[in-house]
């Protein structure tokens, strides 16, 4: 049986391992099919693909797109994309520009909250052209304003806190069109992490399916068996295929590469009938 991890990050966005190091870790953790799904960029795919060929890992080209749906930030993962697709790369580029604008606004808000030079500080953690809240969080930890990245989000960076800037990211239809237009499949990322009630989430899933989305992450890091059961039920209800991904960012976190429960037997895996 193959071991899949279809949701991971590298230094191309807010992960701490370069694509080559990520592939090496996949090999040492016995993951044989890995998707690199950086936030709003495909900048790490070429390097990952080359390393994967050397290490004997099957690489699935992927991306995790920031979507605004009725005021909620939702992440949509694209798997099996052609990363050179023109509409996809143009779309992702526009999201990265929005990130730069947001970062400037965030720095202004953080300054008012008593944190100077946050933009310069965050930029020191930035590794490519993606500027993420994670980079701000690492800076807040560095200067001792909080003692963990998680607290940086809770106190300063998440919706409703002083440094948060409301944004309009891609629409759901845009994100799914970019992914499917590039030959990929669109999957709802980490469905347990949205602050959205069940009725609204049903509405979201209806829109997702109607827009051409075909999958949902049923198995993610740290999910309890009853949560996996719930998401498997949702997958069946909406005719969605099931994906499995750790959302690995860093060796120091509790979302370890490839550390995932098996998919329940009554769902259709997202990789069925595909060459990965």
Alpha helices, H only, the chain: 19-28, 45-55, 86-112, 118-123, 133-142, 149-152, 172-181, 198-210, 225-238
| Residues at the interface with ligand AMP (CB under 6 A) | 14, 39, 66, 132-134, 149-150, 153, 249
Question: Rounded to an integer, what distance in angstroms lies between the CA atom of residue 133 and that of residue 14?
Answer: 9
CB of 95 to ligand AMP, least distance (A): 9
Q: In terms of CB distance, is 130 or 232 closer to Mn ion?
A: 130
DSSP classification of residue 57: P
CA 127 distance to own-chain centroid: 17
* Least distance from ligand AMP to the Cβ atom of residue 73, Å: 7
Nearer to Mn ion, 29 or 236 (CB): 29
For ligand AMP, the closer of residues 64 and 271 by Cβ is 64
By C-beta, is 10 or 180 nearer to Mn ion?
10
Asked if residue 69 lies in contact with residue 172, where contact means CB atoms within 8 angstroms, the answer is: yes
Which among ligand AMP, Mn ion, none contacts residue 153 (Cβ within 5 to 8 A by kind)? ligand AMP
Residues 196 and 232: their CA atoms lie apart, in Å, by 18
Is 14 one of the binding residues for Mn ion (CB under 5 A)? yes
75 binds Mn ion per the rule CB under 5 A: yes
164 binds, among ligand AMP, Mn ion, none (CB under 5 to 8 A by kind): none
Q: Environment class of residue 23 by beta-carbon count within 10 Å: exposed (0-12), middle (13-18) or buried (19+)? A: buried
Q: Which residues bind Mn ion (CB under 5 A)?
A: 14, 64, 75, 189, 247
């Amino acid at each position: 049986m193959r071991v899949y991890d279809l949701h991971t990050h590298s230094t191309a966005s807010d992960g701490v391992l370069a694509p080559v190091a990520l592939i090496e870790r996949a090999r040492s953790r016995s993951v044989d099919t890995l998707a690199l799904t950086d936030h709003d960029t495909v900048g790490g795919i070429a390097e990952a693909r080359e390393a994967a060929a050397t290490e004997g890992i099957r690489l699935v080209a992927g991306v995790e797109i920031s979507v605004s749906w009725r005021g909620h930030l939702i992440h949509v993962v694209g798997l099996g994309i052609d990363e050179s697709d023109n509409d996809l790369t143009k779309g992702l580029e526009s999201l990265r520009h929005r990130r730069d604008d947001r970062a400037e606004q965030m720095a202004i808000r953080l300054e008012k909250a008593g944190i100077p030079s946050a933009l310069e500080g965050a930029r020191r953690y930035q590794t490519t052209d993606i500027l993420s809240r994670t980079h701000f969080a690492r800076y807040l930890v560095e200067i001792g304003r909080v003692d963990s990245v998680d607290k940086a989000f809770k106190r300063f960076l998440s919706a409703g806190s002083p440094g948060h800037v409301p944004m309009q990211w891609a629409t759901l239809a845009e994100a799914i069109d970019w992914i499917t237009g590039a030959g990929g499949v669109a999957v709802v990322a980490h469905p347990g992490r949205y602050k959205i009630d069940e009725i609204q989430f049903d509405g979201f899933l209806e829109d997702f399916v109607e827009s051409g989305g075909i999958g949902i992450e049923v198995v993610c890091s740290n999910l309890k068996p009853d949560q996996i059961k719930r998401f498997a039920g949702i997958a069946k209800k909406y005719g969605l295929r099931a994906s499995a991904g750790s959302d690995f960012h860093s060796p120091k976190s509790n979302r370890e590469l490839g550390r995932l429960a098996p998919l329940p037997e009554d769902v259709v895996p997202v990789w069925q009938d595909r060459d990965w």
